[in-house]
Structure 1
Amino acid sequence: MNYEKLVQGILNIGEAMLQCGAEIFRVEDSLYRMYKSYGFVKYDVYVIPSNIQVTVESPEGEILTQIRHIESTGADYDRLNYLNALSRYVCAYNPDDKELVRRYKKVIARPDQSELITGIAQITGGTAFTVFFGGDMQDAVVALIVCLMIVLAGRWLGKREGNPMIYNLILAFLSEVVIISAARIGLGDHPDRIMIGIIMLLVSALGVINGIRDVMQRNFISGALEVMNSMLGAFGIASGIALAMLLMGNISAEGFDVNKNTVIQLISCTIGCIGYASWFKIRGKKILYSGVGAFLTWGIYLLVYAWYPNNFSAIVAASCFVAGYAFIMSRIDHAPSTVFLTASVFPLMPGARLYYLMYGVVSRNFSMAAEHARVLLETCLGIAFGFIIVDVISRSIMRAQGKEYHMGKKSTVIKKDEK
């Protein structure tokens, strides 16, 4: 065995998983499992959003260390699914370094999703969520136009601007300018609801939630970095909206609400999440699973809220369901749970709260801004708590079955006399 090449090959898989949108704990877990399968005596893995460090001791006593700097990440869950399958193959069959590289290159060479499909997915998601938040037919038309602008401008801007704050600021500013202009010529009845639907294309609340989860699990550095990165993107959205409002004059806002028709709520959020699933490059039947997950997640929220009208309780219950749903589907379909989780949880995302928070600041209605800031934080914490609850239950079930759920250093050290 060429252990140096094996360390490099396995690290290639971990790096690619992180770049495709895998959670920190998933990358660490996959790396630990692969290194353990090859019989390394000791191994330490350290992962944060921008860096992976690995130090291992080979059976011959050689100490090997490799470090990777991760410049950018995105969401390509199709590739992540295949990388996850490759890590399972590596653990089961321990291919040599040449076969490992060959299989890795085969995954990386998979044809990317066409830009046309990705653009249609973004437009579908943003337009559907405008309807979800109470927009009418005219609002949906304006949302469609703005989403098309975001697709075209975002594609151009994404190649030139890597800072998420500046990227989101520019797109949010342009979107709000178009929406206000359309409202002033009589096109679009609810400019605030149109912008809320559009924000769902830009909002990075899931990063905040995953960061909170990491902090709760004592992964303080990675959690703090994820939270700060997401908040940077959210600050860009808020600043872009505020700048457009200040330059063009404030507009009226009716306050947070969703479509009055429950059936339309469920249908629009399902269509929107199917669009977002395709935008995240989820393919095949997994797109349908995402839509089903979104439908049921919002249905659970509505049922719990009708029984006990408390937003935090309903959020926790719905997030427990979607996390459990993702865990079960990951076992059935042998895919990462994040594939089923990310799009399905979108109906719970607090994009509307971010808009009204900034609206309150610009209109000097600071009590309104404070209330929406409170609910925004409450929502993020509620989703994080729901995920944590399911994570604890899942670990308990797996341990009861004699299986390791998340592998760490303590569960991976092998003594030489046990080999």
Structure 2
Amino acid sequence: MEEQVVKTKEIMEVCLLAGKIMLQSGGETYRVEDTMTRMAAAFGIENTNCFVTPTGIIFSAEGNGPTRTKLIRISERSTDLQKVAMVNSISRGISSGDINLKQAIDQLNEINSMNLTFPILVQAAAASLASGCFMIMYNGGWNDFIPALISGGAGYLSFVYFNRVVSVKFFSEFLAAFVIGLLSFLSVHMGMGQQLDKIIIGSVMPLVPGLLVTNAIRDLMAGHLVAGLSKGAEAFLTAFAIGAGIAFVVSFL
């Protein structure tokens, strides 16, 4: 009996760790719940209940002993879809019987400790190039390509810096949008660029919460109303912060 209780506890820890990694890395709520339930069932615990929100996971499992329930808090969230894919791969391995409990614990701890993000300069370079390409896609002229590169890259670097200094994410996005608007205005004022609106639109695209909007819609369609509405509200506040930063520059300069 005591051995079964210990095993149930270990299975819960594995499921919760998998859910935590996925949720922190940008996974959808319904995907997190489904993955945790499937992993528990593969290890022999059929009676489980899982409730996931963007800021926490509640998971209960009923084995041969008393029902156990545990709550973990999610305080930091980012976008790392490679980790989501890696956890999904482990889940499929558990379901097929290729990965046992000990291997799952080791592999999930290894994934949790990984830092798979690209260096900041590489991210800034990608954001800069994306800004120029988005500007062209929105019918901007090639004369504005370089200003969009500069504004987009500087805006993204500003967001990363302010996000480390200020704990409020939306304030960081407001300041980053302000930097983008200011640099775009200066580039047009100095004759480097021509179409201010196209430069701004292309430059803010790396800051746009596309993944949040997508996950919010998918969670709402899957019936997860709390998670869908909260992610939608977060996406709205992000969009509002970006728009407010640009509007501040356009209104006063």
Output the TM-score relative to the length of structure 2: 0.90
Question: How far apart are residue 97 of structure 1 and its match?
Answer: 4.2
1:3 aligned residue: 8
Matches within 5 A, 1:65-76: 65-76=69-80
1:229 correspondence with 2:234:
yes
Separation in 1, partners of 2:183, 2:17:
43
* Secondary structure in structure 2 of the residue aligned to 1:159: helix
Separation in 1, partners of 2:69, 2:135:
50
2:81 aligned residue: 77
2:97 aligned residue: 93
Question: How far apart are residue 82 of structure 1 and its match?
Answer: 1.1
Please give the per-residue CA displacement for 1:59-78, whole angstroms capped at 9, x wherever unaligned: x1321111111112111122
Matches within 5 A, 1:24-173: 24-58=29-63, 60-93=64-97, 95-110=99-114, 112-115=116-119, 116-173=121-178
Runs of 4+ in 1 over 6 A off after TM superposition: none
Question: How far apart are residue 92 of structure 1 and its match?
Answer: 2.1
Question: How far apart are residue 110 of structure 1 and its match?
Answer: 4.0
Q: Is contact 1:6–1:96 with CA below 8 Å preserved after alignment?
A: no
Identity, in percent, stands at 25
Please give the per-residue CA displacement for 1:168-226, whole angstroms capped at 9, x wherever unaligned: 11111111011111111111111101111112111114423432333343321111101
Matches within 5 A, 1:356-367: none
Range moving further from structure 2, 38-47 or 102-111:
102-111
Question: How far apart are residue 111 of structure 1 and its match?
Answer: 5.1
Separation in 2, partners of 1:240, 1:68:
35
* Secondary structure in structure 2 of the residue aligned to 1:201: helix
Question: How far apart are residue 244 of structure 1 and its match?
Answer: 0.9
Q: 1:187 aligns with which of 179, 186, 192?
A: 192
Separation in 1, partners of 2:180, 2:148:
9
Aligned residue identity for 1:17:
M
Aligned residue identity for 2:139:
G
Separation in 2, partners of 1:26, 1:75:
15
Q: Which runs of 5+ in 2 are unaligned?
A: none
Aligned residue identity for 1:243:
F
Aligned residue identity for 2:87:
L
Please give the per-residue CA displacement for 1:125-146, whole angstroms capped at 9, x wherever unaligned: 1111011112222211001111
Please give the per-residue CA displacement for 1:135-164, whole angstroms capped at 9, x wherever unaligned: 222211001111221232222122123433
Separation in 1, partners of 2:215, 2:86:
22
Q: 1:247 aligns with which of 211, 228, 252?
A: 252
Separation in 2, partners of 1:205, 1:110:
24
Aligned residue identity for 1:23:
E
Q: Is contact 2:152–2:204 with CA below 8 Å preserved after alignment?
A: no
1:198 correspondence with 2:211:
no
RMSD, aligned CA: 1.8
Q: Is contact 1:130–1:194 with CA below 8 Å preserved after alignment?
A: yes
Output the TM-score relative to the length of structure 1: 0.56
